[in-house]
Chain A
Amino acid sequence: MERPVHPPLSNPRWLRWPGIVLAAGILCVASVGVGALLWQSADLPFRDLWTSPYLRNVVSFSIWQATLSTLFSILLAIPLARALDRHRAFPGRSLLLRLMELSLVIPTIVAVSGLVGIYGRQGWLTGWLFPVHGQQIWNLYGLNGIVLAHVFFNAPLAARIFLVALESVPEPQRRIASQLGLGNIWLWRSLEWPAVKAILPGLATLVFTLCFTSFAIVMTLGGGPGSTTLEVAIYQALRFEFDFSRAAMLAIVQMLICGSLWYLAVRRGMDSALVPARHLAMAPRRKDSVGPGRFGDYLLIAGFTLFLLLPLIFVTLKGVPGVAGALSPLQDSVLLKATLRSLLIALPAGLISVIAALLILGAYRVSVSPVLARLPATLAHLPLFVPPLVLGTGLFLALRPKLGMSTEGLALVALINALMALPFVLQLIRGPLNAIDPMTLRQADQLNIRGWYRWQQLYWPRLRRPLALSLAYGVGLSLGDFGVIALFGASNQPTIPVLLYQQLGSYQMQAAATTGLWLLILLLGLFAVAATFSRTPARSSPKDTKGVHQCLM
C-alpha cells in the first residue's frame, strides 16, 4: 500500500488544539480577572440588589434602555438593508457602506460631540425639527440621548449585517421570484424574511449586549444617577469607592443577564453564522427597484445617510482649522508621535484578534465532541460582556507584583484590546469560512489537499476580504480605546485617545477637536486600505477558485 503523504500542518490536531487552548486561555483570563476581585472582597452584597432603590433602578434601567435601543436599531436597519439591497448601483453606495462599517469603531467622545452638535439644545437640527416648544418635547439628555446615540452606533452595524444576509439570497431564487412577478410583500415573505430571520436572534443579542454594557455614552448623555447602567455603576464602584465586592457583584449580574441571552441565541441556531458568506455577483436590474416604491427607498437611504453624516460633518468642521498645524512634521508633532504609538498597540491587537478568531473557528470544524466544538466559539464571546474595567483591574491585582508602570502594561493593553475585538472578528470570518461547499471540500480531501495547501488554495482567496475587514475592526477598536489604556498604559507619552483627554483637561479645545478629527480620518483610512486590499483579489478570486475547481475536476 502506498504510504500516505502528509502535507504541512495536515494533522487535524493542528486545527483542533490551538483553538481549544486559546478558548481555555480566554476563560482563564476572564476568571482570573473576575476571580481576583472576588478574592479581594469579603462577601458579595447581593442583598443590596433588592434593598437599594438605586441599584434596583440601575438594573432595570440597563435592561430598559438596551431593549429600546435594540428595537429601534433593528427596526431602522431592516428596511434600510432592504432598500440598499434593491438599489445596488447608486453613486456613493460603497462609500456609505464603508461609513456604516466605521460606526462601531468611532470613539464615543468624538461621536458624542458630533451628536450634541446636531441634536443638542443648540444643535443644528433641534431648532429645525422642533421649532415650537422644542425644549419641552425634545431633550437630548437622559433616555432620549442614550437611545439616539445607541441607534447611531448600532443601526449601521445591524443594517450592514442584514444587507450581507439579503445579498446572500441565492441568485436563481431571485430570478425565479422575478419571473413570477412577486411583489414587495411576497418577496419579503418568501425570500427576505427567511434570510433575515436566520440571523435576527444573534444580531439582536449582539446589539442588546453592546447597548447593555454601554458606558461612555451613558455617562455623558445620561443626565444623572437616574439613568445609570450596570457598567457605569461598576466603574464608579471601582474608581472611587474601591468597592471590589460591589463591582464583582454587579459584574456577575451583568454577565448572568448577557450570558443567558447569548446561551438562548446560540441554542436557537445562531451558531450557523451572523455574517453569511458574501456573494458579490451583481444582480440584474430588479423589478422591485423601479416602481413608485423606489422614492420611499431613496428617502430612507438619504435620510439615513444624513443621520450618519451630520454628526461627523460637525466634528470635521470643528477640527479642520487645526489639522495642518498639528500634523506638520517640522513642528515635532505630538499628534504624529501619538499616532505611531497608537498604531504600535493597535496593529498587534488587530493581528492577534484575527489570528485568534481563525484558530478558534478552525477548532470548531474538526472537533470530535459537539460540546468541545461549540465551546471555543461560545467562550470567545465572553469579552463582550465581561466589563473591561473589571477584567483590567482583576488582572492588575493578579499580576500586581510584576506589573508597575513598565511596558508590560502596554503589551497587556494590546492583548485586552485584541480580546475585546475578538467577538466581532469572529462574526465576520465565521460565515465565509463555513460557506465553502462540501463538494469542494470532499474533492480536496480526495486529492489530499490538506493543511497548509488547503488554506492556501481554498480558504485564503475567499477569506482575504473578510480578513481585511476584520483586521480593520480589530485595529480600529483598539485605536479608539481609552478605558484599558488608562488603567495600564500609564505614560507621559500618550496614545491618540490619551492625548485627546490631556488636551481636554488643559482647556485645549481646538487641539482636542483636531485630534478627534484626526482619529476619524485615521479610521476612515484604515477601512479604505482594508477595502482596496480586499478588492483586488475579489476581482481575481472567482478565477482563482475556478482554477481550483478545474484542477480538482
Chain B
Amino acid sequence: MAIRALSFIIATSLFCSTTAHASELNIYTYPSFVAEWGPGPAIKTAFEARCQCVVNFVALDSSVDILQRLRLEGDSTEADLVLGLDNGTMEAARKTGLLDSHDTDLTALELPIDWQDETFVPYDWGYFAFVYDTEQLSSPPQSMEALIDAPDDLKIIIQDPRTSTPGLGLLLWIRHIYGEQAPEKWQALKGKILTTTKSWSDGYFSLFMNGEAPMILSYSTSPAYHMAIDNTERYQAAEFDEGHYLQVEVAAVVANSDQQALAREFLAFMLTPAFQNHIPLKNVMYPAIDLGDDMPEVFDRLIEPETTRYFPPATVSANRRAWVDEWLNAMTR
C-alpha cells in the first residue's frame, strides 16, 4: 500500500510524462543514447512527427543491462523495442525467445560485413581501438603484437569483458587474432594493464582524462568527438596492423509487444537519414547507411583498418563463457 501511495505521489509530480495518447512505443536503450547530448531526443522528435505516437525511451544502466532487463522481465516486459545490443550480446538476446523478426528492407545498409539477420537491424557500427593521448605517447604501438611486446611501463586501461561491451570486444579481438594462443598473450599483456574497469565511462572519465594512462580501450570513432566538439587533436586512435574488431549496434522488435507494427515502422525509420544523421556526432559511431555529404568532415580523419575482425554472433555465444574463464585464469595466475 505504502508503495502504491508513494509511487502515486512521485508519478503525479514528476515522472509522469504521458497522458492521453493513442499509441506509445517503449524503447529500452542505454543512458548515453537518451542523454540530452545523445541522439535520442532529436530522433524522438523526428519519429513522433511522422507516427502520431509517443516514443518512450527507457534508459538502462548499460547495453549489457538491456539484455539483463529483458531476461528478468521475460514475457511481462513492457518494451516494444530494444535498441543498443551489439554483435557480442545479440545471440544471447535471441536465445531468450523474446524477440521477433524485423521484416525490414536492409538494402540501404552500408557495413564492412555482409548483414543477413532475421531478428536484428543494425543502426550504427564502429571498430574497437586503443585511444591514446598524443601528449603522453608520441609513437603508439602499431600492432597488437607490438602492444603485447611493449615494455611494462606502457600502461593501458581496459574494461571487464563480463560487464562491458568494449571489454568483451577486446577479448574477442585478441581471440580472433591469436586463437588458442590467446591466454598466453593475455599473460604477456597483463603487466601493461593499469586497471580493468567495470565500464567504459568509469575508465575514460576518472582515469584516462586525468592522464593516468596514455592509452585506453575505446572506439576508433572516439577521436571524432574530441576533434569536432572539443576542438582538440590530442586524443587519437592507434591503428593496428592485424586489423580491428568490429562492433555493430542493433535493435529488434519484442515479440510480446502490442505495438509490433509501430516498432517495425521504427526499425525502417532507423535506416533513413532522419535517424542516421544524428549518429556520427551524437552517438559517436559510423552510420549504418551512406550519408553522402552529410557525413561530418572529422570522420575522414579517423583510422581506417584494413582488416575487419569479426566472429559470427553464434560463435561468440557458444564460446563466451569458456573464453571469459580462460581470461580469468590467465589474469589471476
Contacts and interface: CB of A to CB of B under 8 A. Distances in A.
Interface string B1-45: 011101110110111110000000010101110111110100000
A53 to B, nearest CB: 7
Interface of A: 53-54, 57, 109, 112-113, 116-117, 120-122, 135, 141, 216, 219-226, 235-236, 238-242, 334, 340-341, 344-345, 348, 393, 396-397, 400-401, 404-408, 410-412, 414-415, 486-487, 490-494, 498, 501-509, 512
Contacts of A487: 61
A54 B327 CA distance: 11
The 8 lowest CB-CB distance pairs between A and B, nearest first, are A505-B32, A504-B201, A411-B7, A502-B35, A404-B78, A407-B11, A486-B61, A219-B198
A486 B65 contact: yes
B299 interface: no
Interface string B52-76: 0000111111001100110111101
B6 A492 contact: no
15 contacts: A113-B210, A120-B207, A121-B194, A122-B212, A216-B198, A225-B328, A242-B68, A396-B72, A400-B76, A410-B7, A487-B61, A503-B35, A503-B37, A504-B205, A505-B30
Interface of B: 2-4, 6-8, 10-11, 13-17, 26, 28, 30-32, 34-38, 40, 56-61, 64-65, 68-69, 71-74, 76-79, 153, 155, 160, 162-163, 190, 193-198, 200-207, 209-213, 222, 225-226, 229-230, 282, 284, 321, 325, 327-329, 331-332
Contact of A120 (B16, B64, B210): B210
A219 B202 contact: yes
Q: A235, A397, A407: which has the most chain B beta carbons within 10 Å?
A: A407
A116 B58 CA distance: 32
Nearest to B283: A506
A147 to B, nearest CB: 15
Contacts of B14: 340-341, 344, 493
Contacts of B79: 405
Contacts of B202: 109, 219-220, 504
Contacts of B210: 113, 116-117, 120, 122
Nearest to A142: B195
B212 A121 contact: yes
Given A220-B198, A509-B205, 16 more contacts: A116-B210, A223-B193, A224-B193, A242-B71, A340-B14, A345-B10, A400-B72, A404-B78, A410-B15, A411-B6, A486-B60, A486-B61, A491-B59, A504-B204, A505-B35, A506-B38
Nearest to B190: A224
Nearest to A490: B58
A34 to B, nearest CB: 16
Contacts of B8: 407
B213 A135 contact: no
B212 A120 contact: yes
A348 B6 contact: yes
Contacts of B36: 334, 502
B163 A239 contact: yes
Contacts of A120: 207, 210-212
Nearest to A111: B206
Contacts of B155: 121
